[in-house]
Structure 1
């Protein structure tokens, strides 16, 4: 049974949710350089687009309404609960917040924010020591913060897919991949052989499921040398 209370045009809710999640991410990412702000700005734009359709104006529902009504009769698509499209399409008729896709969404969103927060301490230590972060999440992947943004966005897509955010997602994934590659070139110029060794033992974006994590000297201590951006935030 769907909640029949007002579902949309809740613009204060759009603003509040957008600001809360963006601020929460900001406290862990702490952008300073122009490159940081571009990556964080793209993530923020994704969230604003998402919450605008979730609580403001359901553009996706309106555009797909003829097809949805024909394919799934008997559903009031203008309620908030029906906006959880994946739950509706698989026939989940209970509370959508306890549906399979919503629960999986919570796992991805929570995991992404955990990864974002866990990445900051080794970055901070490396910044203070003028070194290269290779411990914590950086012992598993070279760009955990970018991966965290992608994981959070994917989680929100499972919870509330929209045409705009579905279109934005692959573009943003490609953007983060390009940013990672650019920062690797900076790191190679700054650290030389040390960063090459780090790259050889540590994947860029997808961690190895088996085998020992790539680490720096003495099991994960920062490699000291000239510093670079995403890994040590010297330009922040």
Structure 2
């Protein structure tokens, strides 16, 4: 890991941030203030991430003394060494093929897939004035927020920084708060149908036990 330092590339910071933010925005169909807050929280995380990945490595700068003592001979100002989990756990080959980076890619792509599927189901339901219970919504009540959390966690595995590690639990709390606001509105609109759905489907984490996805019970009536 002795490659030329790869920081100060502010063009890459801007390009990567814009690409991922617009990519996420393309799935969210921004229509309400809550949609904008959801994307705004994610955008702040992405900007902080790529600032350290290509701009200025604040985490490495602050931990440089400890890292130098623990891992002599490693050039922590190189891009490869910035993949700290691979470095800390002794992965000495190309970090892009390391276990944390591979898992990161799976989570990021999986999260974007879940985001796309979830928002399609949600906005189709909103267009028809019914409760969204199909697809991912048959397993969890807030798959769109879960998707954002999965994506951010994937990026943390790929490029952990002190700033994004501090931001992560705060942003999770923000998404939980937005989800509660969404639930209050849904309860007002759908009443007993929402209560039955909320009792049978968990909020963010699907149940481990194998079970059938949610389906309205006989007599529940239409989802509107």
Q: Structure 1 stretch 208-217 or stretch 182-191: which is displaced more? A: 208-217
| Residue pair 2:2, 2:75 contacting (<8 A) in 1 also | no
> In structure 1, what is the Cα distance between the partners aligned to 2:85 and 2:71?
12
Q: Deviations over 1:112-153 (max 9, x none)?
A: 001001112212321221111110111111100000000000
Q: CA deviation at 1:6?
A: 4.1
Alpha-carbon deviations, 1:33-85, whole Å to 9, x = none? 11111111010000000000000000000000000001111100000000000
Residue in structure 2 matched with residue 135 of structure 1 by the alignment: 134
Q: How many residues align?
A: 221
Task: Work out the CA distance in 1 between the residues paired with 2:132 and 2:16.
Answer: 32
Q: Distance in 2 between matches of 1:224 and 1:111?
A: 28
RMSD: 1.4
Moved over 3 A (4+): none
CA distance in 2, matches of 1:153, 1:168: 10
Q: Which runs of 5+ in 2 are unaligned?
A: none
Report 1:17-166 matches (<5 A). Answer: 17-166=16-165
Distance in structure 1 (CA, Å) of the matches to 2:114 and 2:37: 20
Alpha-carbon distance in 1 for matches of 2:154, 2:194: 32
Distance 2:188 2:2 in 1: 57
TM-score with structure 1 setting the length: 0.90
TM-score, normalised by the number of residues in structure 2: 0.95
1:212 maps to which residue?
212
The 1:217/1:5 distance shift into structure 2, 3 A limit, reads farther
Paired with 1:223 and 1:208, the residues of 2 have a C-alpha distance of 26
Report the CA distance shift for 1:85/1:192 in structure 2 as closer, same or farther (over 3 A): same
Change (3 A) 1:24 1:151: same
Q: Is the contact made by 1:135 and 1:216 (CA closer than 8 Å) also made in structure 2?
A: no
Structure 2 counterpart SS, 1:39? helix
Deviation of residue 32 (structure 1)? 1.9
Evaluate the alpha carbon distance shift between residue 223 and residue 77 of structure 1 in structure 2; reply closer, same or farther with a 3 A threshold: farther
